[in-house]
Amino acid sequence: MDCFFCREDGGDVLWQDDSLRVVLADEHDYPGLCRVIWNAHAAEFSDLSAGERDRVMKAVYGVERAIRRVMQPAKVNLASLGNQVPHVHWHVIPRYSNDAHFPLPIWAPRQRTVSEVMLSSRRAQATLLREAVRQEIEQALG
């Protein structure tokens, strides 16, 4: 099986341990979009044990808290699709009322163009996520 998340990190690794990693995705229109990726290959969330599922969700919680603190979005979207990459991972997506797709999901048709100045400002904020993610995940995982 050729699995992207088994083969590659999937973004800039902000935090990792033996079971999972948090990456900052390279999504032009969505600075700050993070993925929480289970390291071992599993296609479905229900393939994980109860303890493993709990660990993933605590990490998702920690990443959401970090994004809210650093990026101050209007909303945070959580998504676990896996249709294109069938490997357990969660998208943690900062959303703004003036982002390219709001109020629709980021995979829907674009609603507007967002200025590069605004996106650059959000990218600058996203550079602060590494430390915030580390702090929040360590607190969430205890």
| Nearest C-alpha neighbor of 67 from the set 20, 140, 131 | 131
pLDDT at 30: 97
pLDDT for 1 beyond 80: no
Rounded to whole angstroms, the Cα distance separating 63 from 79 reads 13
pTM: 0.95
pLDDT at 2: 87
pLDDT at 142: 86
pLDDT band at 83 (very low <50, low <70, confident <90, very high): confident
Q: pLDDT (tens digit, 9 = 90+) per residue, 9-20?
A: 999 999 999 999
- Domains by residue range for the chain, with CATH: 4-134 (3.30.428.10)
